[in-house]
Chain A
Amino acid sequence: MRNAGRSKARPQPAGMSDIRGTHGLCSQKENESYQDSCKERFFCEEESGAPVARAVLVDMEPKVISQTLSMAARSGHWKYSSHSHFCQKQGSGNNWANGYSVHGPRHKEAIMNLVQKEAEKCDRLGGFFTIMSMAGGTGSGLGAFVTQCLRDAFPTSFVLNHVIWPYPTGEVIVQNYNSVLTLSHLYHSSDALLVHENDVIHKICAQLMNIKQISFRDVNQVIAHQLGSVFQPAHTAGGGSGYSRNPLGDLLEPLVPHPEFRMLGLRNIPQMPESSLAYSTFSWPGLLKHLRQILIANAHMEEGIDWQVRPPHPGSSIPSTNKPLHFNTSIANLVILRGKDVHSADLGSFQDPSLYTSWLNPQDAFNAWKTPRAFNKYEKSASLVSNSQFLLKPLDSIVGKAWNMFASKAYLHQYTKFGIQEEDFLDCFTTLEQVISSYTNL
């Protein structure tokens, strides 16, 4: 895994608490197999015993990385290698051009050396998971640059980018420029973009987790849980023949059948404060009913779902302009179930052809992973990774605001002084308008 910029390493904390937690309501043997698989996938054993994360941490200023390293070491259960980070002294100033055109080339060798070392420690390199935000300068600009380097250096490996979308108001003023530049560049070098939006996660913290004064730590905790629900060991081949040894491939191949469509959204239910877990019971039919409606109505969580939204009548080929508004059309979906009685769960409703575009077979468009070992203290947990119109509106909104600013030429001098010209901006806008158009016309 690679973490660029200020986005902290999220999956490992959830992963570690998951495997140290209760036995996942399965047999001891099963549990040990799960733990081993998790450790092998994300960690390296070192002589000292403590698992060392397979991670490279990159930032252009030192404060966050040093916090991240010490927090991990304090957990006592795992740590980062002391030689796997790259730091400079002065950040990128929220300037994408600084991250991409200045820091990128300047530090390429050092960063790729770290990646190479880490890759060599793997028996079987499944691919790269790059965690970054797109609002700032380093995660976004340097992240985009490094993604390209990864693609060049490892042409046959999977590269999945985990991108954090900022709150629509007030994190960074030039966040829409940085976002447009990042997304368009990633589209050309990454296999897929798995997106988390800060304001969505914030709402989950407020409405489901009942947190009063929400901090970034809380937000990151929810994100880690959601990522864990996808990337912790799972049975991906039918019949439970051991945990998947190619998680990125198993994820990306069915979900990204066409290069024009690479935006993946993630939903996970149920989500609740730990204190409520003991008092709640869930059934698979109930969870799946909610999850399906979350998909169809483009809801963000199990509260506030619009139950009025219905798919168009099956069988009839309706031109996209006549499809009911608010209905979320999918290209491909993956449902990941973990927990008790998982094999009894009926996923037929997700194979309804009316959920999907016409140019893919619903059998190919929908996949499911069922894993009996429960995840992170939830007796039953269901995740949905969706290549659908989930991100269409937010994307359109970001591009619209960036265009508005671009038309008045505001802040452009800050980018041109580092080599990103107006034409470069126009290319990026074109790329994204194309993506928007493609997703709109599903």
Chain B
Amino acid sequence: MTQSVVVQVGQCGNQVGCRFWDLALREHAAANKKGIYDEALSSFFRNIDTRSGDNGPDIYKGKIRSLKARALLIDMEEGVVNEILQGPLRDVFDSKQLITDVSGSGNNWAVGHKIYGCQYQENIVEKLRKTAEHCDCLQCFFIIHSMGGGTGSGLGTFVLNLLEEEFPEVYRFVTSVYPSGEDDVITSPYNSVLAMKELTEHADCVLPIENESLLEIVNKIHQMINSGKLGSTVKQNSLVTSSAGCAKTLSEKPFDAMNNIVANLLLNLTSSARFEGSLNMDLNEISMNLVPFPRLHYLVSSLTPLYTLADVNVPSRRLDQMFSDAFSRDHQLIQADPKHSLYLACALLVRGNVQVSDLRRNIERLKPSLHFVSWNQEGWKTGLCSVPPVGHSHSLLALANNTCVKPTFIELKDRFMKLYKKKAHLHHYLQIDGMEQNCFSEAISSLSDLIEEYNELDATKGGPRVDPSRLKIAV
């Protein structure tokens, strides 16, 4: 079994990360009734005996004593991390896993990347090494951050670079929250585009998330509950937006519901690597199957179901509905419609009581309405994990490498150009040591090239299919 380390950077990164750890504990508690520290737990948690102080040795077998998250919490402001340390998760982290400062990055990528990057480089590397040493077989780093600010975006991508240098064989999966059009941070387009270049060049896989999509899902669920028709029969803890042990959504902070969705995404992504199943899908397989060309590694994700109804009848129809929903516009975690764009590859991670025949039946059913690139007409990667998420009998995470990310990138580029043409706020960046004009031109050029690659693929969509001729053998 392998381990993964989560690196949460900035305000958004840490808030999402916090939800992730909370839900992970809940998930493992539900699956692990005997309180034994097992392989599944060890993928994200260490087990130590705190009676010998925080420096106690790791306990690899036997009863769970004290679980510590394999995580690094980085923020250049103290507020969010301090709140985590005073909350119910305080025992899951120890002080050696934190890197904080006081003044923040002022929503400036350059401050995060160049100033704090330089300042904290040694500290970050040392702490990363420590967490890696506690791992028997470290497979993957998960970075969680937002793109629009300064710390998550700038320092987050600096850490990404560090990970590639210091741990070149460990996979780098990045969950990035992209700013929406009405983002209140004016310079978010600059920050995002500068960060994009780093993601394109140094990440193995990126899962872009847009707040608008998360909000729409949250609203949809509220409607379901408050509509009165099905409200009473919805199992509260099955909501993809609900927090562990928190039945009422009112008592949660506003972003918690949205962040829970992202936390569930990460749980589902790693479920097959943590629990057993008839068709395991490890993280290295996700990267292998979904990334046909190194730079095109942006994966659109969707989670179903969003909730479970308490009356558990009609299993097969609900199962098929789950597959259909995974491809609908309103279940995607970014504003995109994969059905009407071109698929390069698609992965379906199924959890729970689902057999290979259900999987095959639904793939056959949905295939005709989807457009796959000509050289990957059967570009499906599938995984079956037997342990469902809490509150569900089964669930599905779909990951699509699809040209439908293009509009998000084009909009980002447009917003960037609006500011850049007028040189608005540029001086805040250029005055930072190490920042030059060509950082910007290179970044926008990288984004343009990426968009162009998607354009070329889109151009092949719907055209006549010309298969290349086969090798001829002399008879």
> Which B-chain residue is minimally distant from A92 (CB atoms)?
B284
Most buried by A among B1, B282, B288, B348: B288
Question: If the complex has contacts A91-B284, A410-B292, A411-B292, are A173 and B475 also in contact, measured as CB distance less than 8 A?
Answer: no
From A95, A217, A430, B471 is in contact (CB under 8 Å) with A430
Contact B363–A170 (Cβ < 8 Å): yes
- Knowing A93-B287, A173-B376, A410-B376 are in contact, say whether A213-B358 is a contact too (CB < 8 A): yes
Minimum CB distance partner of A63 in chain B: B276
Interface contact A168-B470, CB-CB below 8 Å: no
A242 to B356, CA, bound (A): 42
Asked if A407 is at the interface of the complex by the 8 Å CB criterion, the answer is: yes
User: Roughly how many angstroms separate A401 CA and B373 CA in the complex, as a whole number?
Assistant: 12
**Interface size counted on chain A using CB atoms at 8 A:** 51
- Residues of A contacting B375 in the complex (Cβ-Cβ under 8 angstroms): 404-405, 407-408, 410
A170 with B381, Cβ < 8 A, contacts A90-B2, A404-B375, A408-B375 known = yes
Chain A, residues 385-427, CB within 8 Å of chain B (1/0): the string is 0000000000000011101110111110110000000000000
A46 contact set on B, CB distance < 8 A:
none
Residue of B nearest to A62 (CB): B1
B363 contact set on A, CB distance < 8 A = 169-170
Given contacts A89-B136, A410-B292, A410-B375, contact A171 B357 (CB under 8 A): no
B residues contacting the other copy or chain, number (CB 8 A):
49
Check A173–B137 contact: CB distance below 8 A: no
Option from B282, B376, B470 in Cβ contact (under 8 Å) with A433: B470
Q: Contact flags (1/0) for B377-392 with A, using CB distance below 8 Å?
A: 1111110000000000
Q: CB distance A168 to B136 under 8 Å? A: no
Contact for B380 among A173, A213, A441, CB less than 8 A: A173
**B254 at interface by CB-CB < 8 Å:** no
B366-407 CB contacts (< 8 Å) to partner A = 367, 374-382
| Contact, CB under 8 Å: B475 / A437 | yes
What residues on B are CB-neighbors of A67 within 8 Å?
276
Contact B471 A94 (CB under 8 A): no
Asked if A170 contacts B278 (CB within 8 A), the reply is: no
| CA A89 to CA B139, docked complex, whole Å | 10
Q: Which of B287, B293, B294 has the most CB of A within 10 A?
A: B293
Residues of A within 8 A of B348 (CB): 170
Chain A residues in 8 Å Cβ range of B290: 173
Partner of A89, one of B137, B280, B475: B137
The residues of A that contact B381 with a CB separation of less than 8 Å are: 94, 170-173
Chain B 342-366 residues near chain A, CB threshold 8 A: 344-345, 348, 355-360, 363-364
Docked Cα-Cα span, A172 to B347, in Å, equals: 9
Determine whether A167 belongs to the interface, using a CB cutoff of 8 Å to chain B.
yes
User: Is B289 part of the contact surface with A, judged by Cβ < 8 Å?
Assistant: yes
| A221 to B: closest C-beta gap in Å | 13
Give 27 pairs: A residue, B residue, CB < 8 Å, sorted on A.
A61-B1, A61-B2, A61-B280, A62-B1, A64-B280, A67-B276, A89-B1, A90-B284, A137-B288, A170-B359, A170-B360, A170-B381, A172-B289, A173-B379, A174-B289, A202-B357, A202-B360, A213-B355, A215-B356, A400-B467, A400-B470, A404-B375, A405-B375, A407-B375, A410-B375, A411-B291, A437-B473
